[in-house]
Amino acid sequence: MDIKIIVATHKKYQMPTDDIYLPLYVGSKGKNDIGYLRDDNGDNISEKNPYYCELTGLYWAWKNLDVDYLGLVHYRRYFTQSKKIPKDESNKFKSVLHREELEEKLKNVDVILPQKRNYYIETIYSHYKHTMYIEPLDETRKIIEEKCPKYLKEFDRLKSRTSGHMFNMFIAKKEIISQYCEWVFDILFELEKRIDVEKYNSFHARFFGRISERLFDVWLYTNNIKFEEVKIMDIQNINWFNKIKSFLLAKITGKKYNASF
């Protein structure tokens, strides 16, 4: 299988040694080389990275990589089949999903996705409303209603679903991801025309990437795409105390997030 999984990164970092992984310097336009492929050559939207996050890497891969299977992961987050994750950061790379494991899975499904994140006391929509500014997400609904109304039913389920596939991570047949990219970037480029990102700070201006996380399931379920969920592994330790505290504060008081965890 001809598989390439881009590892979106903005800095030099340890990378998996398996040849299916392709480190990609996202938001590289106007910046010095760091030894990786860059997302500012060929057909690209590298300059949008402050707003689109890892999606500039996805766009570059969609437009410039001729492969059978395409994936997207992050330099600090990967798929894994390991039941026990090492504590040491360097050793965690030994547990990253490798070619043989992946090829076996792709025999039976079209898409590999992260295990769903469950918000329990929140819906996908209400969590976004409490932690981010809701205007861009609401405007996205209007765009879907105008451009592709068959997706509206699944979009509206964001108000009842309490779990979803997050992180903009996947591994899939390139032809399927190409169909998704055609759809999602058309929506996001239209959203860019309607929402002034300048009224948000640098953290909240990245709403294009966050909204696409919610849109992936909308597209997936509407098109009845067959998928398998795989566990994900964070390379760096997460401060769960701060994460849960911020989650509860957002739910109870409406205090927005102001930084990633």
Residue 261 domain-assigned?
A: no
Instruction: Give strand pairing partners of 234.
Output: 77
Cα 28 to Cα 239: distance, rounded to the nearest angstrom: 29
pLDDT band at 257 (very low <50, low <70, confident <90, very high): confident
Tokens linked to 114: 């992260």
Sole residue written with tokens 């330790």? 237
Residue 256 has pLDDT above 50, yes or no: yes
pLDDT digit string, tens, across residues 43-92: 999 999 999 999 999 999 999 999 999 999 999 999 999 999 998 888 99
Q: Name the nearest CA neighbour of 247 among 239, 98, 171.
A: 239
Residue 26 domain-assigned?
A: yes
Q: What is the CA radius of gyration of the chain?
A: 18
Q: What total of structural domains would you count in the chain?
A: 1
Cα 36 to Cα 90: distance, rounded to the nearest angstrom: 19
Sole residue written with tokens 């395409």? 70
DSSP code at position 47: G
Cα 187 to Cα 257: distance, rounded to the nearest angstrom: 25
Question: For the domain that residue 14 is a member of, what is the CATH number?
Answer: 3.90.550
Q: Where are the alpha helices (DSSP H) in the chain?
A: 49-52, 55-64, 89-92, 99-105, 124-131, 135-147, 152-156, 174-194, 207-222, 240-253
Domain with 41, as residue range(s), is 3-253
Residue 62 domain-assigned?
A: yes
Residue 2 has pLDDT above 60, yes or no: yes
- Measure Cα distances from 125 to 87, 115, 119 in Å: 34, 19, 11
Residue type, 31: K
Q: Name the nearest CA neighbour of 89 among 252, 233, 257.
A: 233
Residue 259 domain-assigned?
A: no
Q: Name the nearest CA neighbour of 61 among 26, 99, 18.
A: 26
pLDDT digit string, tens, across residues 214-231: 999 999 999 999 999 999
Average per-residue pLDDT in the chain?
94
pTM (2 d.p.): 0.93
**According to the model, what pLDDT value does residue 247 have?**
58
DSSP code at position 260: -
Residue 198 domain-assigned?
A: yes
pLDDT digit string, tens, across residues 160-209: 999 999 999 999 999 999 999 999 999 999 999 999 999 999 999 999 99
Residue 110 domain-assigned?
A: yes
Residue 260 domain-assigned?
A: no
Residue 163 domain-assigned?
A: yes
The answer to whether 114 and 232 are in contact (CB under 8 A) is yes
Residue 143 has pLDDT above 50, yes or no: yes
Cα 183 to Cα 148: distance, rounded to the nearest angstrom: 9
